Structure 1
């Protein structure tokens, strides 16, 4: 063993101290605290039913494509792609060196597995229709219906480890907007099998993902903690080290936590505080119309609602402008169509009452109810389910007050937390639902597909003419003018049935601290954490 003499040791110590001084202190951990609203129902990409959960899932899982902060499709796990001349075949080329969060190499089959899992009837994904009706994967519907059991016949294949090929039933020009959606997230086979053929997000050590972040902690009804994924292909450009999604059931409590400096952003703000926040924190308040809408859903086989006169009377009894301007006061816009389309060449259908005066509207509503056998001696009685958030409660109470005052309708409210409401919604055992839907891309088809009988299973409405028109529109997708014309006819047909009653286009009202950089306002939703940074 050799020993340094005292002089050499002193010199070595000076070098060490000098080196420390030159290196400087280690960079502080960058933590982003995001308000989230109600507790997430699941973090399983293929089983998720909610819109908010996708914000966390998008941080954890990267699909073939992603949406940038402005809502535009960009390369994700796929570095490039091309489409066949007939628009039916989409070929995606994966980036080099992709890895799962545990270091396992990723292959194209992982992405195919995610598509097949979404379609597998044994899994029971509520959003399988995204891959049967919205993005019509070849043989996807037959596989989902159980008529086809051979998954290799489905139009999702991996000819090699670096290539994913999706084959469609008919052209879908807006496919890039859909391919970032959680239904197409990849599946890590070893962890999936280890958890009993499911994704166990309650145990982070069992939850392997491929996005910019990985799951560190999941505390039910409290928080979801994500940490930077060192194996992510673009980890060097991910600025935030830790993202904490805080469960904040009450918007008032969330606002207090934000003002106290505990949160860097909110999921929403109380409607009654918007004017004050506009005046006091204009740089922090982000307001922009979204692709979200609020509407009433009627089960057309539920007692009195089987009579279209009753459904139409209830729709005529709602003053949408008064509801938004005097009751909700949340910046939402009254809605008289069922689609939100950013292309002005599309002419949407409209509800009949869009051009009626209040007096004419109420007169017809009373007449229709009387014809259906309801009046002062026999008032119409209904039960409404919906989420229990303050905004939803205010909306429902405003509508039911109008019904009671103008039409004598008696209502019973069953408002619950989001998870319970969704569970009730998907049983189909209800009369009226205070409903909502967030479009996945800014074209009418995303809204109209959701109402198809082959779409969301919660609704008992089926109209052969509507289905026929939607099929005709899909068949003409390559001819934009004709495609839009038939879609508009389908929308009008649906609105004329008065089963789905549009109420409002939602506006995001979010507080974001000015030191959070990269937050882009867009109609798609909140930006992924990988695009954000903190500069204090």
Structure 2
């Protein structure tokens, strides 16, 4: 079969080679300063660091320095080399061939080879990953090791966003020699994760800190530059802000501090702030209403809830302007967004009329609102939602939960109402469809169709759009999907999230790609001039 360079590899092959040379050449290492400990915050504390089993935001943040995938992505969402140094695709778009980096080792010293890629994708992730398995099981026919450093993917049918699939939390590479033949979820290695990344797991003192230490045998010679990364667990938002101001912490990630503090922290001397690094994720917040039982099994009740929530008030006063009202489950910054779909203006009169039309006594049984444990703004959102719904006849009880408890209850569909946010991953087939496909209402993860939405027409449209080869056809199909999802309030979309990252000016190379702080940090360093 004749192979050609993938269209997305790409428009300027020379530029890609230049980038690769800059990333992997020894000259780059000489220009940086070695040493130092970067102290950050992980909030809330993750339930695990095994990225193949858990993809909550705190896990991604920490484990992105331990695990790697075949590719990473720039701010325009074009693929860049990671564990794969080059790639090709066949002219029919059904065969992808990846050439792997040489000299890569797992943290226990064992070599990383094509066999690890085959195991990771074709066995481990095909079974465990709530997002990845959707694509793997539907589209990937086979994964084959051609030799130790070459892997071939064969697709069952065309899948337009295939090259966007290899974000590290979508496709983390997992060591075959540790996991093959074991119960993945109970393997002891989950407590001491082993990857190929620039930092190795050193210590986790629950409730206090996680420490990652420099991988001295990292495959990029001379890197990483930092000696350690310490992620501190500080439950209180005000205390996190103070720790940054005092210099005890050098990095604040979106959600680490209350949005009310953003303006003040931005004005501090020698502090940089950026909202870049979220291009791949385009996070979008939503309300998940459990449609398996009353009252949210009634579409008019769900529509009433949307009219009862003042989403502009939420953005302006609860999240202090860090975001904008969402008009669709597909974020406005993402491919195939369509704003010309049904909308829900804040209108209590309309909300009450819809409740009456529904014939449902929404106050008959208290609604359990499972709190979202990602900071004080989300706590205020829960209180605001409780007050808003009680104005139209609901009785609402807020159930508090930590990150692990929220994930468990969401994954087991043990809630009436909760909040979540979705990462878009550059294409609706990767980040959006998973929340609405009837085939993906599978217990065990908070990032599937947890609300129990079911519409076979939507299933068909998502499948057809994913395989469509032209942007025009994909747009037509996704516009139809968005119209149905908004009409039926398949999920209660709230707002597109904007995150601020704060760090001292002497911390360099912190946000360079479209996955931002979930990157490896292998070239982050302190400028000691």
Which TM-score applies when normalising by structure 1? 0.82
Count residues in correspondence. Answer: 481
Residue number among 26, 31, 54 corresponding to 1:48 in the alignment: 54
Q: Is the 8 A contact 1:111 1:184 kept in 2?
A: no
Partner in structure 2 of residue 451 of structure 1 = 436
Partner in structure 2 of residue 386 of structure 1 = 371
CA RMSD of aligned residues (A): 2.7
Partner in structure 1 of residue 155 of structure 2 = 168
Partner in structure 2 of residue 270 of structure 1 = 258
Q: Residues 199 and 183 (structure 1 numbering): CA distance in 2 closer, same or farther, change over 3 Å?
A: farther
- Please list every run of 5 or more consecutive structure 1 residues that lacks an aligned counterpart in the other structure: 1-26, 140-154
Aligned partners of 2:69, 2:451: CA distance in 1, in Å? 29
Residue number among 410, 414, 419 corresponding to 1:434 in the alignment: 419
Q: Is the 8 A contact 2:45 2:58 kept in 1?
A: no
Deviations 1:295-329 (A, max 9, x none): 10111122211111111101111111122112331
Residue number among 107, 121, 126 corresponding to 1:115 in the alignment: 121
Residue number among 280, 290, 295 corresponding to 2:286 in the alignment: 295
**2:203 is the alignment partner of 1:217:** yes
Q: Residues 134 and 516 (structure 1 numbering): CA distance in 2 closer, same or farther, change over 3 Å?
A: farther
**2:40 is the alignment partner of 1:34:** yes
Partner in structure 2 of residue 245 of structure 1 = 231
SS at match of 2:296: helix
Partner in structure 1 of residue 21 of structure 2 = none
**2:491 is the alignment partner of 1:506:** no
Partner in structure 1 of residue 89 of structure 2 = 83
1:375, CA displacement in angstroms? 7.4
Partner in structure 1 of residue 134 of structure 2 = 132
**2:300 is the alignment partner of 1:309:** yes
**2:444 is the alignment partner of 1:423:** no
Structure showing greater radius of gyration is: 1
1:29, CA displacement in angstroms? 3.5
Aligned partners of 2:307, 2:125: CA distance in 1, in Å? 39
Aligned partners of 1:242, 1:294: CA distance in 2, in Å? 33
Partner in structure 1 of residue 8 of structure 2 = none
SS at match of 1:440: coil
- Please list every run of 5 or more consecutive structure 2 residues that lacks an aligned counterpart in the other structure: 1-32, 441-447
1:520, CA displacement in angstroms? 2.2
Aligned partners of 1:203, 1:475: CA distance in 2, in Å? 39
Residue number among 516, 522, 526 corresponding to 1:530 in the alignment: 522
Q: Residues 482 and 70 (structure 1 numbering): CA distance in 2 closer, same or farther, change over 3 Å?
A: closer
Partner in structure 1 of residue 349 of structure 2 = 363
SS at match of 1:115: helix
Q: Residues 89 and 248 (structure 1 numbering): CA distance in 2 closer, same or farther, change over 3 Å?
A: farther
Q: Is the 8 A contact 1:291 1:523 kept in 2?
A: no
Deviations 1:158-199 (A, max 9, x none): 122111111223333433332133342222233336986555
SS at match of 2:369: strand
Aligned partners of 2:189, 2:233: CA distance in 1, in Å? 16
Q: Is the 8 A contact 1:243 1:529 kept in 2?
A: no
Q: Residues 200 and 262 (structure 1 numbering): CA distance in 2 closer, same or farther, change over 3 Å?
A: farther
Residue number among 318, 323, 348 corresponding to 1:327 in the alignment: 318
Q: Is the 8 A contact 2:510 2:521 kept in 1?
A: no
Q: Residues 271 and 226 (structure 1 numbering): CA distance in 2 closer, same or farther, change over 3 Å?
A: same
Q: Residues 203 and 307 (structure 1 numbering): CA distance in 2 closer, same or farther, change over 3 Å?
A: closer
Q: Residues 157 and 82 (structure 1 numbering): CA distance in 2 closer, same or farther, change over 3 Å?
A: same
SS at match of 2:498: strand
**Structure with a larger share of its residues in helix:** 1
Q: Is the 8 A contact 2:131 2:170 kept in 1?
A: no
1:242, CA displacement in angstroms? 1.0
Residue number among 272, 280, 284 corresponding to 2:272 in the alignment: 284
| Higher mean C-alpha deviation, range 434-443 or range 32-41 | 434-443
Q: Residues 135 and 351 (structure 1 numbering): CA distance in 2 closer, same or farther, change over 3 Å?
A: farther
Aligned partners of 2:111, 2:262: CA distance in 1, in Å? 48
1:236, CA displacement in angstroms? 1.1
